[in-house]
Structure 1
Amino acid sequence: MITKQRLLLAAIPLLMHTAAIAQTGSNEDWMKDLTSRITFNGYAQAGWSYQDPGTTDGAKRRDKTNSYNLKRTLLWAKARITDRWSFLFMHDFNSVVQEFYTDYRITNNNALTVRFGQFKHSYSMENPLSPTQLELIDVYSQAVLYLAGEGPDPLNGVNYGRDQGLMVYGDLLQKKLHYELALMSGQGINRKDGNNQKDFIAKLEVRPVDGLRLAGSGYLGTGHAVGTADWNPTIKEGDNYKRNRYSVGAEYKTLPYSKGQYKEARPASLRAEWLGGKDGDVDSRGGYVTTCIPVYDALDIVASGETFDRNTKVEGWDQTNLTLGVQYWFYKKCRVQLQYTRCLCGDNISSKDFNWLQAQVQVAF
């Protein structure tokens, strides 16, 4: 006769086995959920650059360059914590930590999202774009490089177009209108603010038809100089100074198409923008027109004309670049680029116009 004790002893292993199966299933579900919420992306850009020599007259000398370079090696992770809340961390192994911020979408229709942390700010059409998306090997136009704080402005230092702060953004009118409003440190990345003022950035994009966007942005701020600039000698290191910017531009992209058998069809594009700024009492201004046209299979032609004047009140601080090149997409986001640039320089930048030849390989995932 089977007693209750024997039934209990026989049931214990079965219960333990069932619990183990349930626990394993729970762990598997948890891991599956975790991996579905975290995505990793990255890219590297490396290449070669050649510039012919200038003359040997002191500060105006431009040395010959013939060198390989590794420009960027970025990896970032994005975690979708909830359907409304996410976090991103980005590091460039060739330089510094670039971004770390959190987004929280307040409305269901993407009309209002809040971002806090360190990220690419909204000024200009080009600055928020990834180098993997832009057509030029030198990436951004001179005006954007300088005015958006990408690096060539010694007063602001090297900030890769990024800053620390708080931003609200969203899409309205069935995504025909996009806005961004930000209150930023103004001091750039990985750096404590040098003054008590915060910088305000506003951007508005109108998208009247598919493929077309019209954009304007403004920047009102107070800079804290981390260096000195030859074209702006009244501002010394450690000084606070007025730092304002504006930009207006337009971009049109066709529907994606391909002239051959390449599986990733691409659009033709045309983008133009005019930008200006004021640092202390010195005005600067410039603009660009860039186009990219698929011609066959995975091959594009790239052309660009751009100009920038660092000090509109003093002769000789202007430079105009004319670029023509090709790029070949050998796999999705991966490409090989070759570009020639003729650089026409003001006397204070170089006493001789020069040629610039560049090649680059981009690998991205």
Structure 2
Amino acid sequence: MDKMRTFIAMLVVMAAMPLSAQSIGEQLKQNTSFGGYVIGRVNGTTRQDADVKADMGVRLARAYVDTKIGDFAMKLQLHLSGSPLNKKENAIRLVDAWVEWQHWKEFRVKFGQFKRCFTFENPMHPWLLGEGTYAQLTDRLAGYNDRTGEHASNGRDFGLQLQGDLFTSKCDGHRWLHYQAGVYTGQGINHADKNTMKDFIGGLWIMPIKDLQIGAFGWWGDYVRDDGTTIDRRRYSIGINYTGDWTARAEYAVDQAAGKADAWYAIAGTPSWHRAKLFVHYDVYREGRSWDNAHSIYGVSAQYHFHPNLMLQLNYGFHVNKMAEDERYHAVDLQCYWRF
């Protein structure tokens, strides 16, 4: 609650700052946008110990407002799907509430609740993933269904982040180097800090050509469970991301603390053809960094865009899961994405 009061107070102070070009009211009117998106899903699996082998429903629903006043950009986003009584907290909740000073591309300051700056995939919009959901690396090691037992936080936390893009190319104007570094509470979204320790997360990547990013990330911190147990996080990641007509992304991450774990994935997508696009992906997570506790997924996905705001995606995955009752099984889902 104290963090939210501080956040609101900062917004008030920033909004009251003198503006040279237009009044605050005029800027809010011109620069404020409201929107949202919904992902509906029908899915099935041959996994024998699955609680539900076939299901349909809303996978994700979000509503947001973006605005900008002077050099300050602000965002508020709500997660609307799920039950308010869900004990795992995959329910209606505030996911984004931040303000960022954006006067310079070389140095920006963000404060509030937002995505942790760990891995290439974590900050990506679900619409752009290509494989129907986030990879196990992101899910287990970037704060979605985190291996520490942290409540569902969608890769986010409350903190302060610095970031910027440096060294402009004379050929096409792209920036050669991106940096980001942040300090976070370590407790995930909508939860108060429980100790004096903080999480430190940073990333650095180079862009040798406009559409190619090669980077490394680090995360040092801890998480305090409800019973008072403190779980260390010592995580590192390297990755590559290409977003031209062809798309490709691959990352490896390791957690050196709390029993150790590692994960990696690779995904490649074809150029769009008559509004259609095809992806193939390989996804592995290993608890204890052991193949005896590995979950591997070999998948293919197909997208069709009826409209820039309406997309259908079919996903198939063959699972080899050493932690399941039956190690080998199939999973398929059909997802419909629409935004407004």
Q: Provide TM-score, normalisation by structure 2.
A: 0.85
Q: Confirm or deny that 1:119 pairs with 2:109.
A: no
SS of residue in 1 equivalent to 2:145: coil
Structure 2: how far apart are the matches of 1:154 and 1:351?
25
Give the residue type in structure 1 aligned to 2:329: F
What letter corresponds to residue 253 of structure 1 in structure 2?
T
Distance 1:210 1:359 in 2: 33
Whether the 8 Å CA contact 1:47–1:70 is kept in 2: the answer is: yes
1:306 to 247, 265, 283: 283
* Paired residue type of 1:361: C
Q: What amino acid maps onto 1:349 in structure 2?
A: A
How do 1:337-348 residues align onto structure 2 when only pairs under 5 Å count? 337-346=313-322, 348=323
Query: What is the aligned partner in structure 2 of residue 105 from structure 1?
Result: 102
Q: Deviations over 1:175-222 (max 9, x none)?
A: 110110100011000001122100100101110112111011100002
The whole-number CA distance in structure 1 between the counterparts of 2:214 and 2:102 is: 25
* 1:72 equivalenced with 2:60 (yes/no): yes
Q: Deviations over 1:67-116 (max 9, x none)?
A: 1020111111111111x112110111113110100001243xx1111000
Question: Which of 14, 32, 36 lines up with 1:38 in the alignment?
Answer: 32
Match of 2:136 in 1: 142
How far residue 297 of structure 1 moved from its aligned partner, in angstroms, is 0.8
Amino acid at match of 2:74: F
Distance 1:216-1:335 versus aligned 2 partners, 3 A rule:
same
Cα gap change, 1:199/1:67 in structure 2, threshold over 3 Å: closer, same or farther? same
Provide the residue aligned with 1:354 in structure 2: 329
Q: Distance in 1 between matches of 2:45 and 2:326?
A: 14
Match of 1:272 among 246, 250, 265: 250
For 2:109, the aligned partner's letter is V
Partner Cα distance (1:152, 1:290) in 2 = 22
Structure 1 residue 65, shift from structure 2 partner:
1.4
Q: 1:96 aligns with which of 93, 96, 100?
A: 93
Deviation at 1:117, TM superposition (A): 0.2
Measured against aligned partners, the alpha-carbon deviations of 1:284-325 in whole angstroms (never above 9, x if no partner) come to 001001011135210111110011102125x63210001112
Is 1:202 matched with 2:180? no
Corresponding letter in the other structure for 2:79: D
1:131 partnered with 2:131: no
1:1-365 aligned at under 5 Å gives the runs 33-54=27-48, 61-82=49-70, 84-94=71-81, 95-107=92-104, 110-137=105-132, 139-153=133-147, 155-174=149-168, 175-226=175-226, 237-254=227-244, 267-280=245-258, 282-294=259-271, 296-312=273-289, 316-346=292-322, 348-365=323-340
Q: For residue 152 of structure 1, report the CA deviation from its aligned partner.
A: 4.8
Q: Secondary structure at the match of 1:173?
A: strand
Q: Aligned partners of 1:53 and 1:155: how far apart in 2? A: 24
Q: What percent identity do the matched residue pairs reach?
A: 23
Tell me the distance in 2 between the aligned counterparts of 1:184 and 1:343. 35
Cα pair distance change 1:350/1:204, threshold 3 Å: farther
Rate the CA distance shift 1:182–1:295 in 2: closer, same or farther, 3 A: closer
Q: Contact (CA 8 Å) 1:276, 1:284: kept in 2 or not?
A: yes
Alignment-mate amino acid for residue 59 of structure 2: K
Cα distance in 2 for partners of 1:283, 1:125 equals: 21
3-state DSSP class of the match of 2:292?
Answer: coil
2: CA distance, partners of 1:183 / 1:31 = 33
Q: What secondary structure, in the 3-state scheme, does the structure 2 residue paired with 1:294 have?
A: coil
Aligned-pair CA distance for 1:333 = 3.5
Number of equivalences: 302
- Give the Cα separation in 2 of the matches to 1:86 and 1:325: 35
Q: SS in structure 2 opposite 1:359?
A: strand
Query: Are 2:316 and 2:331, in contact at CA under 8 Å, matched by a contact in 1?
Result: yes
- 1:100–1:30 distance in 2 versus 1, CA, 3 Å: closer
Q: CA, structure 1 residues 295+183, in 2 after alignment: closer, same or farther (shift >3 Å)?
A: closer
SS in 2 for 1:132: helix
- Give distance in 1, aligned partners of 2:225 and 2:292: 23
1:58 paired residue number: none
Question: How far apart in 1 are the matches of 2:327 and 2:52?
Answer: 12
Q: Deviations over 1:264-297 (max 9, x none)?
A: xxx22011111111333x1100100101113521
Give unpaired runs (5+ residues) of structure 2: 1-22, 82-91, 169-174
